[in-house]
Structures are given as structure tokens and as C-alpha cells.
Amino acid sequence: MKKVFLTFVLALFGVISFAQTTWRVDPMHSSVNFNIRHMGISFVQGRFDKFDGKVITAANNLDNAELSFFVEVATINTGVEMRDKHLKSADFFDAEKFPRMSFESGSVTKDKNNTYLLKGKLTIKEVTKEITVPVTFGGVTKNQQGKEVMGFQTAFKVNRLDYNIKYDPTGAGVAKDVDVNLYFELVKQ
């Protein structure tokens, strides 16, 4: 009886493992953007030009998915070279010492319609904090090459001071809160 049960458990595990699908970020159709208030009267927009990530799903949606992403900090781009150099310095991201920001999901729960709540750990400058963000699931379709692709986006705020980005701690010149907008298209592997 033990052998029959063990065989059943191993077969079930094999089916469950086989049923999982990995999706990788398509950098040509994805973007990692931010927006921060400057001097209380205007905004500075920027992006990170190099990032990667994957989603592991059991179906063609985000139900119970596992997500992991990272951003190469040195690829920050605001369109102003002098500002970008300052943002890479120890005053802000200290890109040489902390080359990556990352996110690892903990749970994904369906909210309503095509919206999910994604809970996970965001790490910036070796500070890890749990965050919850809303995710709008765009769906799954086939691209021009006939490959299945999945799309989703999210928008949320991060208090930079929570992650040891302490330049101008009053927030008078550079606001404390950063608006983050992520748009991802992923290709089924």
C-alpha cells in the first residue's frame, strides 16, 4: 500500500510541476518608469533601461503566480546626463555598491475583473520591505512570431527614505514619494 501511495504522490507532483509555465520579460515591449516631484512645483520623469524578470504560472493568468524582477540601477535615465550621474552616486542609489533593485512575490490574489493584489518584497540598497501593489492583467495572446505573450501593468508609490535614499530628507527639493509605473509583456518559454 505504501508503494502505491508513494507512486501516486510522485505522479501527482510530476503533473503539478509539468503544468507550470515560465514567462520571461520582453524588454522591447516593457518599461520601468518613475516620476518624482521636484521643488514642490514640477516633476522629473525617468526610467531604467535594463531590467529582467519572470513569472511562473499554472494557467494563462496570474492566479497564484510567482513573480521575480530586477532592475540594473546604473541604467537610470532621466534624459539629463549630469542628473543621472548624481542619481547613481551615494547621495541616491549608490549604483556601484548596490547595482540592483529587486522584487520577489510572496502572494498574488485576484481582486476584481482583471485586477490582482501582488504582495512581495522590494529590495533597494539592501533594504527589503514588504509591499502590496495592484496589478492590472492585460491577458494572453499570440505575437507576430506566433508565441504566446502575457501583459500586465502596475502603478504604486515608494517612499525613498524607507530605502536609505536620504538625499534631501525634508523632501523640499526632491519629494519623499516616488511614483512607479511598470509595464510588462512577457513571452511564454
Task: Tell me the pLDDT tens digit for each residue of 55-103.
Answer: 999 999 999 999 999 999 999 999 999 999 999 999 999 999 999 999 9
Which residues have C-beta within 8 Å of that of residue 104, sequence separation ≥ 6? 67, 68, 120, 121
Q: Is the pLDDT of residue 119 over 90?
A: yes
pLDDT band at 25 (very low <50, low <70, confident <90, very high): very high
pLDDT attached to residue 9: 45
Q: Which CATH superfamily is domain 21-188 in?
A: Lipid/polyisoprenoid-binding, YceI-like (2.40.128.110)
pLDDT band at 12 (very low <50, low <70, confident <90, very high): very low
pLDDT attached to residue 10: 46
Task: Tell me the pLDDT tens digit for each residue of 26-58.
Answer: 999 999 999 999 999 999 999 999 999 999 999
* Structural domain spans, the chain: 21-188
